[in-house]
Amino acid sequence: MIYDTKTTLVLRHDLASWQIANVAAFLAGGLAGTTPEMMGEPYRDAADRVYSALIREPVFVYGGSLDELRRTHQRALSRGLRPALYIEAMFKTTNDVDNRAAVAAAPVDALDLVGLGIHGPRKIVDKIVNGLKFMT
């Protein structure tokens, strides 16, 4: 099935493995929390146990430099999308309140981005991530 929407994560390619996993989880959760239509239905096994719903469509994961993340961020904003973001300072915090304070204190024109989550119409998201390579 081809969806009309697309979900992407763009992660700085110089992150440690644990940071990649952590940032990806936070970004996917942020997108799912603000765009409930991304979610599928709950799962059931053969014994009728219920499991949590998952994101209904593939999530494409790209890597990039800080400059590429900043460019992607600007492209998303200029097209009216609301990306999820994760900045370097959030690695030093331990809770949501401090995470939001770190973002609020960050200079808008020089965000130290380590990850972005983007969900929107497929054609628009394709233009936003144009030129990025899949994360390996």
CATH number for the domain that contains residue 42: 3.40.1490.10
Per-residue pLDDT tens digits for 85-117 = 999 999 999 999 999 999 999 998 889 999 999
The arithmetic mean of pLDDT across residues 117-124, rounded, is 98
Per-residue pLDDT tens digits for 22-46 = 999 999 999 999 999 999 999 999 9
The arithmetic mean of pLDDT across residues 116-133, rounded, is 98
What is the model's pTM?
Answer: 0.94
Torsion of CA 55, 58, 64, 66, to 10 degrees: -20
Q: Give the whole-number percent of the chain exceeding pLDDT 90.
A: 96
Taking the C-alpha atoms of residue 104 and residue 26, their distance in angstroms, rounded to an integer, is 17
The range of the structural domain enclosing residue 78 comes to 5-134
Residue 1: the pLDDT is 79
Which helix (H) or strand (E) segment holds residue 115: the answer is: strand 113-121
Number of domains in the chain: 1
Residue 2: the pLDDT is 87
How many CB atoms are located within 10 Å of the residue 127 CB?
Answer: 12
List, in sequence order, the alpha helices (H) in 35-65.
none
